[in-house]
């Protein structure tokens, strides 16, 4: 049940937005083994001046933040980073213009169906 946010500093077309969302989704499916219908990805496009580009980056600079349940291996995370970078590269975004941040709140800090995630059957493995 990853919840992802893609943030960009310049306007994108709807087809670019769809492709970026799909790239993150496909990378999550491959690397994190998330269920096929688990697609919670938001796209945030900032107006000019609201997202300054860091030095040595271009106007393609993109930040991807993903909230995930804890338990994924470093190998799964490496694959996730590489897949997002590869897929964004196919869209014309260089790896040097991508920052990916994972947040792993404890299962007790996720409310799912009115209960802590630690108290329910998630229906998929976290130790991938």
The pLDDT confidence band at residue 115, using thresholds 50, 70 and 90, is: confident
- 79-83, 105-109, 124-128, range with greatest mean pLDDT: 79-83
Q: Which residues pair with 3 in a beta bridge?
A: 40, 67
The answer, yes or no, to whether residue 125 has pLDDT greater than 80, is no
The pLDDT confidence band at residue 43, using thresholds 50, 70 and 90, is: very high
Please give the average per-residue pLDDT across 38-59, as a whole number.
92
Instruction: Provide, rounded to the nearest whole percent, the portion of the chain with pLDDT above 70.
Output: 100
pLDDT at 117: 83
pLDDT at 87: 98
3-119 is classed in which CATH architecture?
A: 2-Layer Sandwich (3.30)
Residue spans per domain, the chain: 3-119
The pairs formed by 10-19 with CB atoms below 8 angstroms and a separation of 24 or more are: 10/45, 10/48, 10/59, 10/60, 11/45, 12/43, 12/45, 16/91, 17/43, 17/45, 19/91
């Amino acid at each position: 049940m990853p919840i992802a946010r893609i943030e960009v500093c310049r306007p994108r077309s709807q087809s670019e937005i769809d492709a970026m969302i799909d790239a993150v989704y496909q990378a999550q499916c491959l690397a994190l083994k998330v269920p096929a219908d688990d697609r919670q990805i938001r796209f945030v496009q900032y107006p000019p001046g609201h997202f300054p580009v860091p030095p040595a980056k271009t106007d393609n600079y993109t930040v991807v933040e993903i909230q995930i349940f804890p338990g994924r291996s470093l190998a799964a995370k490496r694959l996730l980073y590489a897949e997002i970078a590869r897929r964004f590269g196919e869209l014309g975004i260089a790896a040097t213009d991508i920052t990916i941040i994972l947040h792993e709140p404890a299962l007790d800090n996720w409310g799912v169906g009115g209960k802590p995630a630690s108290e329910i059957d998630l229906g998929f493995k976290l130790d991938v």
